[in-house]
Amino acid sequence: MPDPSSSPTSAPAADPAQRVRLRKQMLILATVLAFAGFVVLAFLTRIPLPLRLAVGLTDLIASAVLFLVVRQKFA
């Protein structure tokens, strides 16, 4: 079994252009998730409130986690 600490997927991208592109994609995804969370919470009134809160807050939490990952990994 290979050593998980030497996994190539955990290593940062070596190419600076690839790192910039990945950072940009993650920021776009985090922004879209935050926007979707606000839309679900504010405008989808046909969905029952508990389900709407669960989906909207899950989107907002996922967005916050992505923003933190970008800040930690690409600082």
Please write the tens of the pLDDT for every residue from 2-40: 666 665 555 555 688 999 999 999 999 999 999 999 999
Residue 8 is predicted with a pLDDT of 58
What is the domain partition of the chain in residue ranges? 38-75
DSSP state of 9: T
pTM metric for this prediction: 0.76
pLDDT band at 51 (very low <50, low <70, confident <90, very high): very high
- Distance in angstroms (rounded) separating the CA atoms of residues 31 and 29: 5
Place of tokens 């970008």: 70
